Amino acid sequence: GPSAFVTGWPIKHSRSPLIHGHWLKCYGLSGGYEKVATEPDAFVNFITHLNQSGFIGGNVTLPHKETTFQCADVSTPTAERLKAANTVWLQNGQLHADNTDGYGFLANLDQTLPGWDTTDRLHRPCLILGAGGASRAIVDALSNRGFSKIVLANRTLARAETLLDEIAPTGTAISLNDTQKMLGEAGVIVNTTSMGMDGNGLPILMDGIYPKALVTDIVYTPLTTPFLRAAAAQNIETVDGLGMLLHQAVPGFERWFGVRPKVGSELRQLIVNDLKRPQT
Ligand code: ATR
C-alpha cells in the first residue's frame, strides 16, 4: 500500500507513527507510515526528490517546516500565510504543501468543548503567550475564526510585533511581563511557549482571571501543565494540548490514504500511555 513519512531532526520522539499506525489498523488500510530522520543539510534533497523515494507524502516537523514551504510547487493559502508547512503530498508529480497546525488547534477545541467560541469570548481580547512557529499558526487560526482583538505576549517583544505584522496586523504585542494586566479581560488564553514543560511554570497568577475564560496550552508533556492546573484551580475551563497533536494529523491521513480519520478516546489513550513511558 501507499507509504507516508514523518521527518525532522531529531525525529526519534515523534508520536506521529503511533497516530497514523493506529488509524491504518482501525480502518483496515494496507498503507505504511515511518520516521525518517533528515539532517538540515540533506533536507532539500529529500523533500524535492520524494517521487523517487516511493513515498506519497508525509509530515514535516522542526526544523524543516519553512524549507518545506519554500520547496513546494503548490501551497495552500494557509501555508502561504504562515510561510511554513507540516503536511505534504504528491499530485501529478508536484509537491503540494499545507500547514495543519492551526486547523488542529481549532479542531481540538471544537471537539472537546463544542461552542467554545461564544460571542462573549469572540468580543473579548484573545491572549496568546509566545511568538514561535506554533504561535504563528494559532494566531492565524484564531483571527480567521473571528477573534478580532488578538493580544500577543512574548518575552522578546520584537518577535511578537513581527509575527503580528505578518499574520494579524490589527493585533497588539505586549511583553510577557505585562500579561497579568490582561487576565481580567481575556476570553481565551493560550500558552504556546515551551514553559510548562518539565514542570516549569509561567510567571502568571490566575487570580483575577475572567471567570468565563477558556485556558488552553499546546504543551502536552505533562498533559496537565502548571498553567492549566492553576486555571483549573480557579474553576476555569481548560483544554490540554494533546488534542492539537492528534487533530493536526487528520488532513494528511485523509490526503494519503483516502479516509478522513476520527480522533477518538482510544487514540488519545494510546498516546497518553506512550507519554508515560520513560523517555530515552
Ligand atoms: P515553537 O516554534 O515550537 O512555537 P519557538 O520558536 O522555540 O517554539 O518559540 C518558543 C517560545 O517560547 C517563544 O515565544 C519564546 O520566547 P522568545 O521569543 O522571547 O524566545 C518562549 N520561551 C521559551 N523559553 C522561555 C522562557 N524561559 N521565558 C519566556 N519565554 C520563553
100-153 confidence digits (pLDDT tens): 999 999 999 999 999 999 999 999 999 999 999 999 999 999 999 999 999 999
pTM: 0.97
The number of the ligand 1 atom at minimal distance from the alpha carbon of 133 is 2
Strands of the sheet with 32-37, listed across from one edge: 32-37, 3-8, 55-60, 87-91, 94-98, 74-75
65 is catalytic: yes
Say how many Å lie between the CA of residue 57 and the centre of ligand 1: 30
Identify the residue whose C-alpha is closest to ligand 1 atom 31. Answer: 193
Choosing from 12, 25, 65, 212, the catalytic residue is 65
pLDDT per residue of the chain (280 residues) written in tens, 0 to 9: 899 999 999 999 999 999 999 999 999 999 999 999 999 999 999 999 998 999 999 999 999 999 999 999 999 999 999 999 999 999 999 999 999 999 999 999 999 999 999 999 999 999 999 999 999 999 999 999 999 999 999 999 999 999 999 999 999 999 999 999 999 999 999 999 988 665 566 778 899 999 999 999 999 999 999 999 999 999 999 999 999 999 999 999 999 999 999 999 999 999 999 999 987 7
What tens digit of pLDDT does each residue of 165-183 get? Answer: 999 999 999 999 999 999 9
pLDDT for the residue numbered 195: 84
* Binding site membership of 63 for ligand 1 (Cβ less than 6 Å): no
How confident is the model at residue 199, as a pLDDT? 57
Q: Is the peptide bond before 226 cis (omega within 30 degrees of 0)?
A: no
CB-ligand 1 contact for 134 (6 Å cutoff):
yes
Quick one: pLDDT at residue 127? 98
**How many angstroms does the Cα of residue 111 sit away from the middle of ligand 1?**
27
